[in-house]
Amino acid sequence: MDKNSETPAALGYRMPAEWEMHTATWLSWPRREGISFPESFDRVLPALRAMIEALIGSEQVCINVSNGAHEAEARAVLHGLPMERITFYPVATNEPWCRDHGPIFVTRASDPRVAVVDWDYNAWGNKYPPFDLDEVVPTRLAEILKLPVFYPRMILEGGSIDVNGNGALLTSESCLLNKNRNPNLSRNDIEQRLRDYLGVSDILWLSDGIAGDDTDGHIDDLTRFVAQETVITVVEESRDDENYEPLEQNLARLREMKIDGRTLDILTLPMPKKIVREGLRLPASYANFYIANTCVLVPTFADANDEAALSVLRQCFPGRRVIGIDCRELIWGLGTFHCLTQQQPAV
């Protein structure tokens, strides 16, 4: 159903904050022949299993698979887990990054209470063709779930935005204003679509992303809301690191920002030490955590700062288990837990 004649915001919809209650977490199971984990597919499977094992203690897990053989592969990896907490859906994908290709769910008090926003998708600026299967995932899932769909006609990945559920949205100029996404849209055009389709009012712009991030600076490696007026942002302690200056600039911007006339409460997360593999700087960041109903999944990197990051996040989420999972193999795919997940809010 295309409800494009009336925008979600006009109909009373909003995008909830990630810490609000979920019905489920959605994932797309990686394909061995995909490009995300070159020559290391089997080495990422333990982290995927650990992620799902943690999630099923919190909520239902829904996994997109291409066909029966693909589902059988996933089941073999997950053998021994309580499978009644896992549902497989026949939705083919190119790559596993469900945050970016999956549906963004919006909610409202009146029926239909949940809807899907299907943003256009071009694999982070046409970097990784083919992406034809990923591009249609939101509408495919909306058809399966029998939910209305809205079409903003704008390229946007879920990892490029973060919301507080109460009108504020964080994003970055390096990604959303990049000409490889929406060359014909101005900043004002983009802001208007965010307001119309996600029900936000305050749009908070950071500048650049971290080194090695092939998404052109997704916010979910930088700065996240952890409460309506509180953000947590990564900082680099070493002045010699190429991330030092851009992250300091983002911190300075955050200090100037206001929501409803009030300045933000700002917490900081350290960065792990630089990780280089086969000559490539990898975008390792503790900000790529995922907030589930009863737990928070945090990527760790066998790094001296792992425990400090976990400690800060435990202070942010005292009612949830904060679980660190080794992502040294997973980050070879240039993303971790937030990139792999998409929450379906409860109503």
Go through 215-250 and write b for each residue having 16 or more CB atoms within 10 A of its CB, e for each that does not: bbbbbbbbbbbbbbbebbbbebeeeeeebeebbeeb
Cα(298)–Cα(241) distance, rounded to whole angstroms? 23
Q: How many CB atoms lie within 10 A of CB 255?
A: 10
As for how many domains the chain has, the answer is: 1
Phi (first) and psi of residue 339, to 5 degrees: -65, -30
Q: Is 167 within the bounds of a domain?
A: yes
* pLDDT (tens place) for every residue of the chain, 347 residues total: 444 469 999 999 999 999 999 999 999 999 999 999 989 999 999 999 999 999 999 999 999 999 999 999 999 999 999 999 999 999 999 999 999 999 999 999 999 999 999 999 999 999 999 999 999 999 999 999 999 999 999 999 999 999 999 999 999 999 999 999 999 999 999 999 999 999 999 999 999 999 999 999 999 999 999 999 999 999 999 999 999 999 999 999 999 999 999 999 999 999 999 999 999 999 999 999 999 999 999 999 999 999 999 999 999 999 999 999 999 999 999 999 999 999 999 98
Cα(60)–Cα(24) distance, rounded to whole angstroms? 5
Q: Is 161 within the bounds of a domain?
A: yes
Cα(334)–Cα(220) distance, rounded to whole angstroms? 12
CATH number at residue 166: 3.75.10.10
* Predicted pLDDT at 219: 98
Q: Is 242 within the bounds of a domain?
A: yes
Q: Is 277 within the bounds of a domain?
A: yes
Q: Is 6 within the bounds of a domain?
A: no
Cα distances (Å, whole numbers) of residue 284 to 18, 78, 142, 326: 21, 25, 32, 11
Q: Is 2 within the bounds of a domain?
A: no
Cβ atoms of 29 and 37 within 8 Å: the answer is no
* Predicted pLDDT at 5: 63
Question: What pTM does this model have?
Answer: 0.97
Cα(204)–Cα(108) distance, rounded to whole angstroms? 23
The structure tokens listed for 273 are: 């030490």
Pairing status of strand 60-65 against strand 86-90: parallel
Cα distances (Å, whole numbers) of residue 25 to 6, 103, 191, 232, 258: 28, 11, 27, 22, 31
Catalytic annotation, residues: 339
Q: Is 82 within the bounds of a domain?
A: yes
Boundaries of domain holding 64: 22-345
- Chain center to CA of 250: 19
Q: Is the dihedral of CA 218, 221, 225, 231 positive or negative?
A: negative
Cα distances (Å, whole numbers) of residue 332 to 55, 122, 248, 286: 22, 21, 26, 15
Cα(52)–Cα(49) distance, rounded to whole angstroms? 5
